[in-house]
Amino acid sequence: ALMYRVDGWGAPYFTVNSNGDVSVRPHGVNTLPHQEIDLLKVVKKASDPKSLGGLGLQLPLVVRFPDILKNRLESLQSAFDFAIQSQGYEAHYQGVYPVKCNQDKFVVEDIVKFGSGFRFGLEAGSKPELLLAMSCLCNGSAEGLLVCNGFKDVEYISLALVARKLHLNTVIVLEQEEELDTVIDVSKKLGVRPVIGLRAKLRTKHSGHFGSTSGEKGKFGLTTTQILRVVKKLGQYEMLDCLQLLHFHIGSQIPSTSLLADGVGEAAQIYSELVRLGACMRVIDIGGGLGIDYDGSKSQDSDVSVSYSLQEYASAVVAAVRLVCDRKGVKHPIICSESGRAIVSHHSILVFEAVSASSHDSPQFPSSAPGIEYFVDQLGDDARADYRNLSAAAVRGEYESCLIYAEQLKQRCVEQFKEGSLGMEQLAAVDGLCEFVSKAIGVSDPVQTYHVNLSVFTSIPDFWGIGQLFPIVPIHRLDERPAVRGILSDLTCDSDGKINKFIGGESSLPLHKLDSNGGGNAEHAPYYLGMFLGGAYEEALGGVHNLFGGPSVVRVSQSNGPHSFAVTRAVPGPSCGDVLRVMQYEPELMFQTLKHRIEEFADDGGSSSLALANGLACSFNNMPYLAAASSCSLTAAAA
């Protein structure tokens, strides 16, 4: 557990139990010891063909813990409640969840449900997000704030105004100055009085990866001059009372509370100025940015860590708003935040399996290939000299020289192979000799490549796109010292489809040897790894590179009884047919085409054609990932 820093990034939700498995604490610090859930047991249950009504989900698997989601929401709310109460702040906190972080229906519905006691709202950044937010709030808490951010056209603005007509607590936040004309125009046509917010471009900027959103040259928001023009125009249309909210977003993963207080303070000044200019201001919306400590280092110098707690964040925000408003004699505004990462990251764990490990560090010498001494006479003069020098250096114990001669020998033999004067067996023998030398001298690269049944592009897109690191840990065998170090290589035919950077600045991960299942075959006992803290953005961003679709999903709640849990939902990931449909294919037609071809060409007709067609149907219905040997397949059907 120490090697993987579980105590750092995992607290208070993840720990390692006495079985050596990752244990989930669904209620955070309030989890009683008997409520802990062994993650390995969840994975076994989800993938067991005999449980969950015979569903037998394929990996990769996302395991969601709604209890964690609930705990995150309540922790955020109570951190602000505490800061407000202890600082004598005279307005309340109103959280909204930015659905872009994870638009999954069950995640959004859970958030609305768990947050209904404190009227937690939603934030949308596009038309489909607005549609889903509207319907979820209708079914949940209609008083929760509905913040409409993002670039808007007439249709978006009309939809937001319809939401107001439906008595949803909707605010249209102007992201660009031009949106104002549309808001004025459409609200007149629809006969709705809009509530308007504006997004300010702050001068405060954070320097980390996610900071490019902020600063004077940031992508979003209105400049000081534009804000003044908006106020003037609203005044001209007698709509200044509609302007009620100031929004800004410093960037995700704000590294420190000092930067946070700086930005919030600047925004509070703008807020106070808007009050002075006559707007009916009520809400200051501080955007997202509450960070996650992905590597457990509590450092403000890293994009994957932050140096503050939830409570320190909330207290810094409340203090910064209060200071400015008190100085300016402005009534304390409702504080709204749009935390996404901090709400949904912890609740979902991606579990995947290592299916094989490359063996390029195991010595191939002496091997079944002919020893190099049998074909020394085929080597060129230089290569032969290298071989002789290598042998002599080995006898003298001059290891540095051994390495140099071995490397020279290898290069010359590769040249000879390219010219056609050495065969494959001979080249393999040379490779084997060189590996043997480095192994014997103890300088061989001990890093193995573990092949994982996963697509990095689909499931960890931020690793590929922006180099973001997530904690990755075997979810079992943690009571056993890892014997090797490895990098993870995914299933895609893409050299970027690998994970070779890990938290703590490591370029490889301590891993256990794949256990043989006995019987001398290549099969091994399953070795499961988990990627943690990826509940925000990763599922929402993932693409279908190589047509690998999303993972299977189970939803797991803590239930009565010691260490017991209930799987409250189980959904297989998209099938091959589903991902083909994304690219405009029609799997049913494809199947028919291939079936006709079977009928035309399958040799003995009758049952074998039928078996082939059944097998083909399986291929469309199965997930694109590597399947367990027992599952429905072409060969199984044909047999």
Task: Give, in order, the Cα–Cα distances in Å from 6 to each of 346, 487, 527, 533.
Answer: 13, 19, 18, 12
Minimum distance, C-beta of residue 345 to ligand PLP, in the bound complex (Å): 8
Q: In the window 434-493, what residues touch ligand PLP (CB under 6 A)?
A: none
Beta-strand relationship, 498-499 and 447-452: unpaired
Would you state the structure tokens that stand for residue 547, as one six-digit string?
A: 């047509």
Which region, judged by CB under 6 A, interacts with ligand PLP, from 86-94, 163-171, 333-341, 449-457? 333-341
Q: What phi, psi does 290 have (nearest 5°)?
A: -65, 120
Q: How far apart are CA 453 and CA 458, in angstroms?
A: 12
341 in contact with ligand PLP (CB under 6 A): yes
Residue 197 near ligand PLP by CB under 6 A? no
Residue 350 near residue 61 (C-beta atoms within 8 A): yes
The C-alpha atoms of residue 432 and residue 424 are separated, in whole angstroms, by: 12
**Closest CB 251 distance from ligand PLP, rounded Å:** 7
Question: Which tokens belong to 543?
Answer: 């693409």
Is residue 242 within the footprint of ligand PLP (CB under 6 A)?
no
Closest-CA residue to 89 (of 418, 316, 301) = 316
Nearer to ligand PLP, 60 or 255 (CB): 255
Task: In angstroms, give the least distance from the CB of 582 to ligand PLP.
Answer: 25
Instruction: Count Cα neighbours of 63 within 13 Å in the Cβ-side half-sphere.
Output: 30
Contact 165, 235 (CB under 8 A): no
Helix pair angle (424-441, 399-419), 10° resolution: 160
CB proximity list for 553: less than 8 A, separation 6 or greater: 61, 62, 63, 64, 569, 570, 571, 573
Hey, what amino acid is at 396?
R
Nearer to ligand PLP, 273 or 303 (CB): 303
Of residues 250 and 452, the one with the C-beta less far from ligand PLP: 250
Near ligand PLP in 203-232, by CB under 6 A: none
Interface with ligand PLP (CB under 6 A), residue from 249, 322, 332, 498? 249
Q: Between residues 342 and 511, which has the closer beta carbon with respect to ligand PLP?
A: 342
Q: Which is nearer to ligand PLP, 432 or 534 (CB)?
A: 534
Instruction: Quote the CA–CA distance of 150 and 128 in Å, as a whole number.
Output: 12
**Minimum CB–partner distance for residue 288 and ligand PLP (Å):** 2
Q: Minimal CA–CA distance to 552: which of 45, 205, 26?
A: 45
In the three-class reduction of DSSP (H, G, I as helix; E, B as strand; rest coil), residue 30 is classed as helix
Owner of token pair 């959280």: 95
Question: Is the CB of 289 or the CB of 432 nearer to ligand PLP?
Answer: 289
- Of residues 339, 364, 489, 492, which one binds ligand PLP by CB under 6 A? 339
Residue closer to ligand PLP by CB (options 118, 625) is 118
How many CB atoms are closer than 10 A to CB 117? 11
Which residues in the 536-555 window bind ligand PLP by CB under 6 A?
A: 536
Residues 142 and 23: their CA atoms lie apart, in Å, by: 37
Give the shortest CB-310-to-ligand PLP separation in angstroms: 12
Q: Any residues with CB less than 8 A from the CB of 96 and at least 6 apart, and which?
A: 120, 121, 122, 123, 144, 145, 146, 147, 285, 336, 337, 338
Phi, psi of 554 (to 5 degrees): -125, 150
For residue 571, what are the β-bridge partners?
553
Name the residue nearer to ligand PLP (CB basis): 271 or 405.
271
Q: Shortest Cβ distance from residue 243 to ligand PLP (Å)?
A: 18
Q: How far is the CB of 100 from ligand PLP (least distance, A)?
A: 7
Minimum gap (Å) between residue 541 Cβ and ligand PLP:
12
Q: Least distance in Å: CB of 614 to ligand PLP?
A: 46
Site for ligand PLP in 120-159 (CB under 6 A): 149
Q: At how many degrees (to 10) do helices 105-114 and 127-139 cross?
A: 40
User: Does residue 558 interact with ligand PLP by CB under 6 A?
Assistant: no
Tell whether residue 252 is a contact of ligand PLP (CB under 6 A).
Answer: yes
**Token digits for 612?**
């082939």
Helix %, strand %, coil % of the chain (to 5):
45, 15, 40
- Considering only 144, 194, 221, 340, the residue that binds ligand PLP (CB under 6 A) is 340
How crowded is residue 615: how many other Cβ atoms within 10 Å of its Cβ? 18
Q: Which pair of structure tokens corresponds to residue 519?
A: 């019987």
Q: Least separation, in Å, of the C-beta of 175 and ligand PLP?
A: 9
Closest CB to ligand PLP: residue number? 288
Using CB under 6 A, pick the residue from 60, 95, 98, 121 that binds ligand PLP.
Answer: 98
Single out the segment in contact with ligand PLP by CB under 6 A; choices: 334-342, 420-428, 469-477, 583-591.
334-342
H/E segment holding residue 174: strand 169-174
Nearer to ligand PLP, 39 or 254 (CB): 254
Q: Which amino acid is at 290?
A: L
Size of interface with ligand PLP, in residues (CB under 6 A) = 15
Nearer residue to ligand PLP within complex by CB, 177 or 382: 177
Element (H, E) at 608: helix 606-621
String of contacts with ligand PLP for each residue 99-118, x by CB under 6 A = --x-----------------
Considering the complex, what minimum distance in angstroms separates the CB of residue 344 from ligand PLP? 8
263-322 residues in contact with ligand PLP (CB under 6 A) are 287-290
Annotated catalytic sites, by residue?
Answer: 493
Which of 74, 129, 338, 538 contacts ligand PLP by CB under 6 A?
A: 338
Candidates 307-315, 337-345, 405-413, 513-521 — which segment interacts with ligand PLP by CB under 6 A? Answer: 337-345
- Quick one: tokens of 48? 């067991």
Residue with Cβ nearer ligand PLP (157 or 344): 344
d(CA 470, CA 618): 34
Q: Which residues bind ligand PLP (CB under 6 A)?
A: 98, 101, 149, 249, 252, 287-290, 338-342, 536
